[in-house]
Amino acid sequence: MLADPATGIIPPGMRLRELQTYRSELSINAAYRGSRGADWQSRGPWNVGGRTRSMAVDIKNEQHLIAGGVSGGIWSSEDGGNSWTRRTAPMDHPGVVSIAQDTRIGHEHIWYALSGELYGTSASGGGHDAFYLGDGAFVSVDNGNSWKPLAATAVGNPGSFSTSYQGGWKIGCSNVDTVNTCVYMAVYGGIYRSTDTGKSWKVVLGVGNDSYFTEFAIAPSGIVYASLSWDGNAKGFFRSADGINFTNITPNFLKSANRTVIEIDVNNENVVYFLSELPSDTSGGVETKDYEGNPEWVSLCKYQYLSGDGTGSGGLWSNLSTYLPVNNPNQFDRFNCQGGYDLMIETQPGSEQIFIGGTNLYRSRDGFKTGSQIQQIGGYALATTLPNFGVYPNHHPDQHNLYFLKNASQAYSVSDGGVKFTQDINANEVTWQEKSLGYLTSQFYTVAIDESKPFDQWLLGGLQDNGNYISYSNNPKDLWNMTINGDGSYNFIAPDRSYYIISTQLGNVRKVVLDLKGNVMLRRRIDPDGIDKSQYNFINPLVVDPSENHTLYMPVAKRIARLSNVKNIEVYNDNTKFKSGWTFSADTITTRNFNTGNC
């Protein structure tokens, strides 16, 4: 419906022109702005931060933070994360994957953000390889208070992947030139560079390339390190002394890699770490397993620049993969990065400590020289198990970044659970504080209400990667309670709240009894026995018959499953699948041959 009738496609850059017209109309008709119809009030959740891949701490004021949700827009805090204000307009592209500040003296008011999540989004469904097309880069010239898209990168067709700017990994600034701006972007295919505050961009690594995963890191001296995944023509690890001309420095022992993150040692810029997810057991790393026992391969490579262009005898490589925490016996304790979706590495100023993240956050006190000084300090709860797994106190699984303050014992952590903070990341038992209060970026798959009571305030939401949360107050600052963990899915609130149907990913369904504050008292699994998880959608619908609130239906592959007498199923703590009571329709769904041209 949006396509040009003459060409059959949406014109490139149309979204940018649409927003420009929208802002122009707002300024002209400011007196007539307002809502038409019902007034809406935010219900939160106030205390559940959404998936956050990037944040930045103002170099001039550590209380000033800027963070971005992957579909929740750009937010800022002036008080160290105790409160947040949304800074991007509702019509701006809400997906943010990277944020950076121009840290040169006199330029600290300039900030950049990059949109377009290439891996792990819920917007396009599927697994961790799902993507959410972006709208290029954004810039703020008033210290993050307002943002506008960069015209040079907002040229994609919103209906299809038509430019590399629509999906990226990182944006960052070099401070080597005190006069000219120097900004880099790692996007699909390669590394781009701008020297005019983002008005124009040139590819400096990966011209015409198809690497899905790209990354860079900039040293204080202006030296740039980069990585391009092995699915492109240009591939491997690279070094550039001038930020323009790159030399391949890939170690011989690494045969291939998918996503890689790079950390230049803050204590010695001649030392660089490359943490990678690998495609196979012959790539040069080590094997790990996720909580279900599925294999994954990862590597940690250390590079020390010695001389010349850094190749051959000019650089020293060490394979530290052996010391990664991949052999822990507990199912959630092993280092796992879910195909590179959650992957980070940071060095700590003034120490040998290195921090890596996948699903969990780990600290190595000796820089991975051995495997004996490694400790899990975030993510899942220590030694937690299925079915009712827990999380590390006040933290969250799926790590994306870590930011140290000038007092390097203090750090912010961003993950799929928003923003967290610790006063002492060196402690034997690290204590985290929630810093997502009012950072309204969590993602809802579903919301359930008690449909038998007009104006009832109870809400039960299924949240992406944050479980099923419940609220019983219309005060937007009241805290929501976790009920069943996992990826929250479809739910049902029975009349009089006598019971609840709460589901998580891949068809896990439970009948639950909650107390008056939403705390779980009893739970019983009721999805049918004998059905493999491959028969369900990741977020699998269900519905309870509204006429009698007694019969539950849900799709199982091409059939409809029916469970009668739900109201009278006894609830006790049992996680075994339901062995009786379900009936299944015949497979009556057929697929039309769309190639015939028939409707």
* DSSP per-residue string spanning 566-579: GGG----SB-SPB-
The pLDDT tens digits of the residues spanning 24-44 come to 776 666 555 555 667 888 999
pLDDT at 358: 98
Please give the class, per CATH, of domain 1-19+54-248.
mainly beta
What separation in angstroms does the CA of 157 have from each of 15, 111, 350, 367, 485? 8, 25, 47, 45, 37
Which secondary-structure segment (H or E) carries 98? strand 98-101
Q: Tokens for 209?
A: 């390339």
Q: Which residues contact 54 (CB under 8 A, 6 or more apart)?
A: 67, 68, 96, 97, 98, 99, 400, 401, 414
pLDDT at 2 (0 to 100)? 76
Q: How confident is the model at residue 595 (pLDDT cuts 50, 70, 90)?
A: low
Structural domain spans, the chain? 1-19+54-248, 253-441, 444-584
pTM for this structure?
0.91
Average pLDDT over every residue of 79-86: 97
Q: Per-residue pLDDT for 599 more than 50?
A: no
- Quick one: pLDDT band at residue 221, thresholds 50, 70, 90? very high
Distance CA 59, CA 177 (A): 18
pLDDT in tens, 458-508: 999 999 999 999 999 999 999 999 999 999 999 999 998 999 999 999 999
Does this chain's domain 1-19+54-248 share its CATH topology with 444-584? yes
Virtual torsion, Cα 248, 253, 255, 259, nearest 10 deg: -70
Q: Which tens digit of pLDDT belongs to each residue from 420-463?
A: 999 999 999 999 999 999 999 999 999 999 988 888 999 999 99
Note the pLDDT of residue 597: 46
Pick the CATH number of 444-584 from 3.40.1160.10, 3.40.50.10610, 2.130.10.10, 3.40.190.10: 2.130.10.10
Question: What pLDDT score does 287 carry?
Answer: 97
